[in-house]
A and B are shown apart, each in its own frame.
Chain A
Amino acid sequence: MQTEINPEVITQKTHKKRKRWGIHLFPIPALVIYGMFIVYPLVAALAYSFYDWKGIKKGAFIGLENYKNLFTAEPFSGMFWNAFGHNFLYFAVQMVVQNGLAFFLAFIIYQKIRGAEFFKLAYFLPRLLSVIVVGFLWKLILNPNFGALNVLLGKMGLENLKKAWLGDPDTALLAIILVNCWFGIGFAVLIFLAGFQAIPKELIEAGRLDGAKGFTMIRTIMLPLMMPSITIMTVLTFIQSFEAFELVYAMQGSQGEPYRSTDTLAVYFYRLAFGGSTGDSTAIGLGSALAVVLFIFISIVTAFYLKSMQKKQVEM
């Protein structure tokens, strides 16, 4: 391959001239695709939210009417806050169960236990499945009559714990969130493990000489140094929780069954955008307003959190 450069040498002069212009073409393909399919849709959604829509036909400019309806008119405002609460629970449970457990598991692997590679592999494996496969698989496992979980509980003599996990409004949302934790824990373990491994060995040694052990060691030396990976996991979990869609859709459909007890903002948005919420037609204006609100909410919270974490790190 290297020999192909030789003919170039002969025509060096013409190339030198062309080079200055040609180089600016390099970022163009990426920029065009990115602009068209990432930037444009978000700007367009903002524009859509100011219009009245009849089906998929754009009507008159109505200013902030869609936003007003989203927050004051029923059933829209009720559905919004119902879904918002679910998204918040999604975030809280994932932070505690998924990230909390992952932190501990990463710490265990960091202790150089035998089979560390196997454990990493095992925790990570679910992450490779498509979310729809995860949802359907667990729907079968959680089936009240023939599902593996209830059969297992019966075999262990825990008959009274058997439940229609996904049919009961009290357990359905929690079941979905825990399935999400099952899916995501391996990724969190790897992030935290990378965090642990980045802690300078000298610091741990110094701590040990000063007599820090076990929990004190984690709290006073490791935790502050783990803040970058904790920050990253918090942001990723936050964004992912507030755009949760696929798993709910796979396990409970676009209505957030039963009785909207598993509805999330993204599922609600899907109903508004593609029908099924008011029974007959789509509500693109309302849907776009919801998308803009959610987008602004996610961006502002993320930005504020990252800012405050940055400040803290500087202080340390």
Chain B
Amino acid sequence: MKQTIWTKPIYYIVAFLFASISLYPIILMILSSFKPNMEIMMSPLSLPKSFSLQTYQNLLDRVPFMTYFYNSVFVSVVSVLLILITTSLAAFYIARYTFWWNNVLFFIFLMGMMIPIKLGIVPLFMLMKDLGLTNSLWSLILMYTATGIPLSILILTGFFRTMPAELEEAARIDGATDLRILWNVVLPLMRPALGTVMIINFIQSWNDFFFPLIFITDDLKKTIPVGMLSLFGEYSADWGALFAGLTLSSLPMMILFFIASKQFMEGLTAGAVK
């Protein structure tokens, strides 16, 4: 494999080939969502002959998509907020104090990253039932907060440790409490790390399908991913509405991605690279 005149062109061809394999199905999904059923069946690969939103109308007639959407937003936003609050408190404690049990605590939290929590779903189901939280969005919020804690603590603790402690000490001499130091002095400097934590956990809770599959049966309490399950279960012949549903479920995340692609890619790999 010597570097020849052909090396660069081959690189480009391979890179382009796989970029199209990655993108084509997604483009197909979006284009198909504007086609009537007949057109999808007869010519699945061509561009839509005319631009119509009829499929989206059908989708909204068939399932309460706006309710799913609202539920997904509520669950994701509240989970992310809870994670930000609980993990910045815990990470601050772990990184800034030197009690002998801090390393043990850190290790216990990190173990969570290796745990396949799906395997604990039976006791979790019973627990949610005892708490009266089945068919409640709070069952999902608590799960996403819990599963988000380990990685978020890893990221925030790492960031706290790189920050100089002088500012905090100055504030402490001024008599500020620990909580106030964290809120007024430390957190404003932590924005990049907090952003990473936000993005990772938002994707996780927005896209998860496993926990609502188990905890939620009431159609009006479903998030978008399980809502898709009912759509595909009941209207599997209406391909136009199916493609519209898939497109609409993915759109919010894709828009966010194009606005902040760098943060997304750095965020999602942050835990693994460290």
**With a CB–CB cut-off of 8 A, which chain A residues contact B94?**
27
> Which residues 90-112 in A have Cβ within 8 Å of B in the complex?
101, 104-105, 108-109, 111
A125-153 toward B: CB 8 Å interface, digit per residue (1/0)? Answer: 11111111100111011000011100110
Contact A141 to B28, CB < 8 A, known contacts A40-B127, A131-B207, A239-B114: yes
* CB proximity of A56 to chain B, nearest CB, Å: 7
Contact A2 to B184, CB < 8 A, known contacts A113-B15, A141-B25, A239-B114: yes
* CB proximity of B255 to chain A, nearest CB, Å: 10
**With a CB–CB cut-off of 8 A, which chain A residues contact B146?**
33-34, 36-38
**With a CB–CB cut-off of 8 A, which chain A residues contact B246?**
133, 136-137
CA distance A147 to B21 in the complex (A): 16
B92's partner among A26, A131, A232 (CB-CB below 8 A) is A26
The winner among A4, A31, A121, A229 for most chain B CB atoms within 10 A is A121
A125 contacts B26, CB within 8 Å? yes
> Is B218 on the interface with A (CB-CB < 8 A)?
no
Stretch at the interface among A64-72, A158-166, A179-187: A179-187
Stretch at the interface among A5-13, A80-88, A307-315: A5-13
**With a CB–CB cut-off of 8 A, which chain B residues contact A108?**
11, 14-15
Stretch at the interface among A167-175, A255-263, A290-298: A290-298
B118 contacts A245, CB within 8 Å? yes
Helix, strand, loop or mixed for chain B's interface? helix
CA distance A128 to B157 in the complex (A): 26
CA distance A288 to B126 in the complex (A): 13
> Is A269 on the interface with B (CB-CB < 8 A)?
yes
**With a CB–CB cut-off of 8 A, which chain A residues contact B224?**
130
* CB proximity of B262 to chain A, nearest CB, Å: 9
* CB proximity of A109 to chain B, nearest CB, Å: 7
Stretch at the interface among B37-45, B51-59, B158-166: B37-45
> Is A177 on the interface with B (CB-CB < 8 A)?
no
B118 contacts A38, CB within 8 Å? no
A41 contacts B121, CB within 8 Å? yes
B239 contacts A140, CB within 8 Å? yes
* CB proximity of A168 to chain B, nearest CB, Å: 20
Helix, strand, loop or mixed for chain A's interface? helix
B99-123 toward A: CB 8 Å interface, digit per residue (1/0)? Answer: 0000001000100101111111111
A214's partner among B1, B11, B85 (CB-CB below 8 A) is B1
A-B contact count, CB below 8 Å? Answer: 270
> Is A18 on the interface with B (CB-CB < 8 A)?
yes
Contact A138 to B153, CB < 8 A, known contacts A130-B206, A194-B273: no
> Is B190 on the interface with A (CB-CB < 8 A)?
no
A187 contacts B268, CB within 8 Å? yes
CA distance A109 to B265 in the complex (A): 15
CA distance A191 to B253 in the complex (A): 21
Contact A291 to B269, CB < 8 A, known contacts A119-B19, A133-B246: no
> Is B87 on the interface with A (CB-CB < 8 A)?
yes
- The number of chain B residues with a CB under 8 A from chain A is 94
CA distance A136 to B87 in the complex (A): 35
A269's partner among B119, B150, B178 (CB-CB below 8 A) is B119
> Is B259 on the interface with A (CB-CB < 8 A)?
no
B177 contacts A22, CB within 8 Å? yes
A33's partner among B40, B97, B145, B178 (CB-CB below 8 A) is B145
Closest to A195 in B: B273
**With a CB–CB cut-off of 8 A, which chain A residues contact B15?**
105, 108-109, 113, 115, 119
> Is B214 on the interface with A (CB-CB < 8 A)?
yes
> Is A201 on the interface with B (CB-CB < 8 A)?
no
B119 contacts A214, CB within 8 Å? no
> Is B186 on the interface with A (CB-CB < 8 A)?
no
> Is A304 on the interface with B (CB-CB < 8 A)?
no
B234-268 toward A: CB 8 Å interface, digit per residue (1/0)? Answer: 00000100110010011001100100010011001
**With a CB–CB cut-off of 8 A, which chain B residues contact A19?**
177-178
B122 contacts A284, CB within 8 Å? yes
CA distance A261 to B254 in the complex (A): 34
> Is A29 on the interface with B (CB-CB < 8 A)?
yes
Contact A128 to B118, CB < 8 A, known contacts A113-B11, A146-B239: no
A33 contacts B45, CB within 8 Å? no
* CB proximity of A186 to chain B, nearest CB, Å: 7
B136-176 toward A: CB 8 Å interface, digit per residue (1/0)? Answer: 00000011011101100100000000000000000100111
In the A-B complex, list the 3 residue pairs whose CB atoms are closest, starting with the nearest. A41-B120, A44-B123, A37-B146
13 inter-chain pairs at a CB distance below 8 angstroms, sorted by A residue, are A8-B174, A26-B92, A33-B149, A37-B143, A44-B126, A45-B120, A124-B261, A182-B25, A191-B269, A233-B272, A250-B209, A291-B122, A294-B116
Q: Which residues of A are at the interface with B, using a C-beta cutoff of 8 A? A: 1-2, 4-5, 8-9, 11-12, 15-16, 18-19, 22-24, 26-27, 29-31, 33-34, 36-38, 40-42, 44-45, 48, 56, 101, 104-105, 108-109, 111, 113, 115, 118-133, 136-138, 140-141, 146-148, 151-152, 155, 182, 185-187, 190-191, 194, 213-215, 229, 232-233, 236, 239, 242-243, 245-246, 249-250, 266, 269, 273-274, 284, 287-288, 291-292, 294-295, 298-299, 302
